[in-house]
């Protein structure tokens, strides 16, 4: 099945594509009672075995401006549109808000489910509302930003409403002017633009992450953990160079740094490997099986827990 960027050799009972809400509702009626899984590019999934059900693939790929004021523009994008294609268009329009998330693999629909983010910006910062179809009734339901209950790489669609709704459209609220976020980006310009930020982000991601299609991966495999301030204070005495970022709920520690300190960078186990340019990534280096990927991920988590007393967990969804 080609709908997963890890390149796992798995099959589904049925793979069905749809290019409109009407086609989706027809499929929901046709396959009522079957196990369903809605995907975009499969860039944040690890299929652990053959999928005994119907994989629904969005081919809804349009975007349009809904309304505009002197300072803002609301853009409605369909779920199957590649997120980076959308961001490229927004940057060309000089609209601010999503440029830090450039070159993240995946689709618009996944951005709302996963609350994707990078370099201090998350999808929740710009999402106005999310339009969905309820699987059991085929009724449309619109979720406000607040109703989505966004968290770090998290949303209501991954928790209470998991498997109950399929995202069809997302409305983003972008700025014509305002504050850019070049923090953590090495931009040597006194006044940078959205295009400068996009260019810098793409350069960084290309230097650290494997290209989708060349080496199987799901991008960043692990979430960055947030620990209690007192835990950080204790660790910082032993590791004074430990990078950290102050959050409302604690201190965020880069998982990549923790993994590298445990000696995993470039290490292989079976056909899976911790990527030698970015230890946050696990790659399918040599015909890896799902078991290879899961075993390596668990070994990394165990190692970080033992050395630092910090729990890290996969960002990737196991199916």
What is the structure's pLDDT at 7? 86
- Considering the segment(s) 210-318 as one domain, its CATH architecture is Alpha-Beta Complex (3.90)
Helix (H) or strand (E) holding 170: strand 165-175
Please tell me the chain's helix, strand, coil percentages from 3-state DSSP, rounded to the nearest 5. 30, 30, 45
In sequence order, the β-bridge partners of residue 284 are 216, 272
Q: Alpha-carbon distance 29 to 8, whole Å?
A: 29
Q: Alpha-carbon distance 310 to 304, whole Å?
A: 6
Mean of the pLDDT values across residues 302-318?
Answer: 95
How many C-beta atoms surround the C-beta of residue 131 within 10 A?
19
Contact 226, 189 (CB under 8 A): no
What is the structure's pLDDT at 209? 86
Mean of the pLDDT values across residues 112-121?
Answer: 92
**Radius of gyration from C-alpha coordinates of the chain:** 20
Angle at 143 between CA 175 and CA 161, to 5 degrees: 130
State the maximum Cα–Cα separation within the chain, in Å, rounded to a whole number.
61
Mean of the pLDDT values across residues 273-290?
Answer: 93
Confidence of residue 47 (pLDDT cuts 50, 70, 90): very high
Mean of the pLDDT values across residues 177-205?
Answer: 86
pLDDT digits (tens, 9 = 90+) for 48-77: 999 999 999 999 999 999 999 999 999 999
Cα–Cα nearest to 112, from 86, 139, 93, 138: 86
Buried b (16+ CB within 10 A) or exposed e, 12-21: beebbebeeb
Mean per-residue pLDDT over the chain, rounded: 93
pLDDT digits (tens, 9 = 90+) for 4-34: 888 888 899 999 999 999 999 999 999 999 9
Contact 37, 55 (CB under 8 A): yes
What is the structure's pLDDT at 188? 76
Catalytic residue numbers?
153, 220, 315
Q: Alpha-carbon distance 273 to 279, whole Å?
A: 9
What is the structure's pLDDT at 9? 85
Contact 119, 181 (CB under 8 A): yes
Confidence of residue 126 (pLDDT cuts 50, 70, 90): very high
CB neighbour class for 83 (10 Å; exposed up to 12, middle 13-18, buried from 19): buried
Q: Is the pLDDT of residue 1 over 70?
A: no
Helix (H) or strand (E) holding 245: strand 245-247
Mean of the pLDDT values across residues 195-201?
Answer: 94
Q: Name the percent of the chain lying above pLDDT 90.
A: 80
Confidence of residue 179 (pLDDT cuts 50, 70, 90): confident
pLDDT digits (tens, 9 = 90+) for 227-280: 999 999 999 999 999 999 998 889 999 999 999 999 999 999 999 999 999 999
Long-range Cβ contact pairs of 118-126 (< 8 A, separation 24 or more)? 118/201, 119/181, 119/183, 119/184, 119/185, 119/201, 120/181, 120/183, 120/184, 121/97, 121/181, 122/150, 122/152, 123/150, 124/148, 124/150, 125/97, 126/97, 126/98, 126/172, 126/173, 126/174
Torsion sign across C-alpha atoms 41, 45, 48, 54 = negative
What is the structure's pLDDT at 4? 82
Q: Alpha-carbon distance 176 to 95, whole Å?
A: 5
Domain ranges across the chain: 210-318
pTM of the entire predicted model: 0.88
């Amino acid at each position: 099945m080609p709908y997963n960027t890890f390149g796992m050799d798995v099959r589904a009972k049925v793979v069905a594509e749809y290019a409109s809400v009407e086609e989706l509702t027809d499929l929901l009626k046709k396959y009522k009672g079957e196990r369903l899984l809605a995907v975009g590019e499969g860039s944040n999934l690890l299929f652990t075995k053959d999928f005994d059900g119907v994989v629904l693939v969005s081919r809804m790929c349009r975007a349009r401006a809904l309304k505009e004021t002197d300072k803002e523009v609301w853009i409605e994008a369909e779920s199957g549109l590649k997120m980076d294609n959308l961001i490229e268009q927004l940057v060309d329009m000089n609209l601010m808000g999503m440029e830090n998330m450039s070159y993240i693999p995946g689709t618009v629909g996944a951005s709302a489910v996963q609350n994707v983010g990078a370099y201090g910006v998350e999808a929740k910062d710009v999402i106005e509302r999310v339009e969905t179809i309820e699987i059991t009734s085929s009724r449309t339901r619109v979720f406000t930003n607040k109703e989505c209950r966004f968290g770090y790489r998290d949303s209501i669609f991954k928790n209470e409403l998991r498997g109950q709704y399929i995202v069809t459209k997302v409305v983003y609220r972008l700025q014509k002017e305002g504050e850019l976020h070049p923090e953590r980006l090495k931009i040597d310009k006194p006044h940078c633009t959205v295009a400068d930020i996009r260019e810098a982000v793409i350069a960084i991601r290309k230097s650290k992450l494997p290209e989708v299609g060349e080496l199987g991966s799901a991008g960043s495999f692990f979430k960055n953990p947030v620990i209690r301030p007192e835990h950080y204070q204790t660790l910082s005495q032993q590791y004074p160079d430990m990078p950290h970022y102050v959050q409302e709920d604690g201190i965020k520690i880069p998982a990549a740094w923790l993994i590298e300190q445990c000696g995993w960078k470039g290490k292989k186990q079976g056909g899976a490997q911790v990527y030698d340019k970015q230890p946050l990534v696990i790659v399918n280096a040599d015909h890896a099986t799902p078991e290879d990927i899961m075993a390596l991920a668990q070994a990394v988590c165990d190692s970080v827990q033992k050395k630092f007393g910090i729990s890290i967990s996969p960002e990737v969804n196991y199916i």
